[in-house]
Amino acid sequence: MTIHVIGLGVAQQAVLTANALNALKQAQIIIGSTRQLQTIANLVDHQAQQNLASKNQQFIALPKLNELKTLLVTFADQQVCILASGDPLYFGIGRWLSQQDNNSALYFYPAVSSIQAACHKLGLSLQDCDAISLHGRPVETLRSLIRHNQTLVILTDQYSQPKRLAQECFTMGYHAAKITVCEDLGYEKEQVRSFSVAELLTESTALAEINFSDLQVTVIETGVSQIMPQFPGFNDELFITGKTAGKGLITKREVRLAVLSLLQPTRGDVAWDVGAGCGGIAVEWAYWNKAGQVHAIEHNDQRFDCLQQNIQRFGVVDNLTAIQGRAPAVLDSLPQANKVFIGGSDGEMSELLAFCWMQLPEHGVLVASAVMENTKQQLLTFRDELLMVGSATIETSQIAVSRGEELAGQLVYRPNLPVTLFRFQKNST
């Protein structure tokens, strides 16, 4: 099957290149949304008038992607044209098509995207902006992407309308953010309007009744927040633990940074955080590595509830999955990990080490922490076993942190319990 993917640009009526127009003319099957099919209506009609269409053409409304995959199989011997908005390979359907294993020949015809059009409308250099898509994604994802003094250009859907984005900005402390809504770009009813967060959230003026087009791009100029972290090393007080702020079962900041440094999060990682507690490691792991997947395992009901709340609080809803259960039994159902952290073993450290090490691929990394002497001894035994067979590169350190507090008006340093860290990397076999 040959599939031509045609970007229609940002216009009420598509203006195509000669190559794109020729692909459209030759196609037997044309698939697109109702709006997209309308944008090519004048081209199809013109072709018919000039008797340019050499074959009967069938027009099909774009179904959901799982249905589209099945549908394409039925057109195996035909020329197929799929319509796309703007650039098919920039937050478009092109990526999904490229990932399908259907032996199709794919040809792409890009046009100006709505993100580009919004930037040009506002005089913004695209390289100075961060473009993201919330289309089909939880709006809480924004929390893990927004930063100080940033210009975000956002593709939205019905769940990420400007008022909802304003609420997210307010929740995250970006109270002075400027939100510009670019609606119906390229259409006769195009309009561009800017608002403050307060204006969009007000309930006492006419702005409370404002409605926005479904066809829009939203630009947020963030300003500064005093809440959201900007660099690795979240304050312990930011986490929900069910206890006093900064207390409860989370790995403290100094140790957390050391653990993440040992793990070296990398694009494409599949990671396990075993005994995740309230999510100190897992949440920050996922927050700074959006291109990796983290699976956090916790069996305690109260801590698991805190873990889920922290996932929402920091917006790591796309790449952090919480699994309630007891390891190692629950690990059988997870995808193979190339990075593992064991922060809580509940007396089963030896079994966890053996299971996690066995499933690690070549060059995979296992990091484990210990506070109790019994746990430390199990890690030392595991270290000795690996050294005997020469199957790992090993490093270990002990971290002892004392934090400053006030006592009777004087500064004192209170020591936390020392934490021993081991890092094991699997050697080539």
pLDDT given at position 101: 72
Residue 231 lies in a domain: no
Using the 3D structure, point to which of 54, 87, 112 is the last residue of a domain. 112
Distinct helix (H) and strand (E) counts, the chain: 13, 19
Identify the sign of the CA torsion 323, 329, 333, 338: positive
- Residues paired with residue 151 on neighbouring β-strands, in sequence order: 221
Which among 253, 252, 293 is positioned nearest to 273, based on CA atoms? 293
pLDDT in tens, 278-317: 999 999 999 999 999 999 999 999 999 999 999 999 999 9
Residue 228 lies in a domain: no
Total domains present in the chain: 3
As a whole number, mean pLDDT of residues 245-258 equals 88
The domain in which residue 127 lies consists of 116-221
* The pLDDT of residue 320 is above 90: yes
Q: Is 337 exposed, middle or buried (0-12, 13-18, 19+ CB in 10 A)?
A: buried
Which of 20-29, 216-225, 244-253 bottoms out in mean pLDDT, i.e. has the lowest?
244-253
Q: What is the mean pLDDT of residues 133-146?
A: 94
Q: What is the pLDDT of residue 53?
A: 45
Q: What is the CATH number of the domain that holds 132?
A: 3.30.950.10
Quick one: 205 and 240 in the same domain? no
**What pLDDT is stored for residue 52 in this prediction?**
44
Residue 48 has pLDDT above 80, yes or no: no
76 and 185, same domain (yes or no):
no
Does residue 133 share a domain with residue 61?
A: no
Higher pLDDT: 266 or 246? It is 266
DSSP state of 295: E
**% residues pLDDT > 70 (the chain):** 95
Residue 388 in any domain: the answer is yes
pLDDT of residue 243: 86
DSSP state of 100: -
Q: Is the domain of 22 the same as that of 92?
A: yes
**Does residue 279 sit in the same domain as residue 391?**
yes
Residue with tokens 């940002």: 10
**pLDDT mean over 365-374:** 96
* Alpha carbon separation from 258 to 151, 171, 244, 330, 400 (Å, rounded): 31, 30, 24, 27, 12
Model confidence pLDDT, tens digit, residues 153-186 = 999 999 999 999 999 999 999 999 999 999 999 9
Q: Rounded to an integer, what distance in angstroms lies between the CA atom of residue 404 and that of residue 46?
A: 77
**Average pLDDT of the segment spanning 81-100:** 92
Q: Tens digits of per-residue pLDDT, 324-335?
A: 999 999 999 999
The terminus-to-terminus CA distance of the chain in angstroms comes to 42
- Assess whether 182 and 55 both reside in one domain: no
